[in-house]
Amino acid sequence: MSPRTPLPPRLYFSYGQFLVYDCGVKAPGSLWTDAHSAQGFARRESTVSFGTLLEFGHADVFYCRGAFRHDGAHERVIAVPFSVFTGKIMVDGPEEVGIARTFGLPLGNYRIVAAQRLVGGGEELVELFAEKLDDALGESRVIIADDLLNPPVRLVETAEIA
């Protein structure tokens, strides 16, 4: 387990989402359906758009290599399969341009967990956990659902390019 590492600068999320993707993905945005909104994410193999607790705002983002650790304060926690093929992961908001908020991961299969909580004043705290796996993870999981989520029994594991 690596230490919790900040990812500056602060994230500006908008349209109720932020993105995590391998830098080799040319079009990381995903087209959201009602089912994606209900479950809190829309994903493809090496990109995921996570829904946020607020529609617009700022978030401090941290990442940790290793399995998710619940600290008791997370309000929304979602785990998704993720493939790393360039070794460089980008985290950004839909309206951010020219921001280099990246971290490195060895190539391979991962479980990416986004754990979120409100910290007041239209701000959030986002913690990303990247757990390396021997084999590709088969499906996503909503670990903690806040009141805005109503995940379907079978989560939607694919999305179209936005």
Q: What is the pLDDT of residues 85-114, one digit of tens each?
A: 999 999 999 999 889 899 999 999 999 999
Q: How far are the Cα atoms of 12, 35, 77, 83, 111 from residue 154, in angstroms, in the given order?
A: 30, 10, 17, 21, 18
Q: Return the closest-CA partner of residue 82 out of 91, 94, 73, 70.
A: 91
Q: Domain count of the chain? A: 1
CATH number, domain containing residue 33:
2.60.34.30
Give the range of the structural domain holding residue 51, as residue numbers without chain letter. 5-161
Q: Rounded to two decimals, what is the model's pTM? A: 0.96
CA distance 30 to 14: 14
User: Strand pairing of 76-84 and 47-51?
Assistant: unpaired
DSSP 74: -
Question: In a structure prediction context, what are the per-residue pLDDT tens digits for the chain, which is 162 residues long?
Answer: 678 999 999 999 999 999 999 999 999 999 999 999 999 999 999 999 999 999 999 999 999 999 999 989 999 999 999 999 999 999 999 999 889 899 999 999 999 999 999 998 889 999 999 999 999 888 999 999 999 999 999 999 999 999
CA distance 5 to 78: 19
User: Containing H/E element for 39?
Assistant: helix 34-39
Question: What was the pLDDT predicted at 35?
Answer: 97
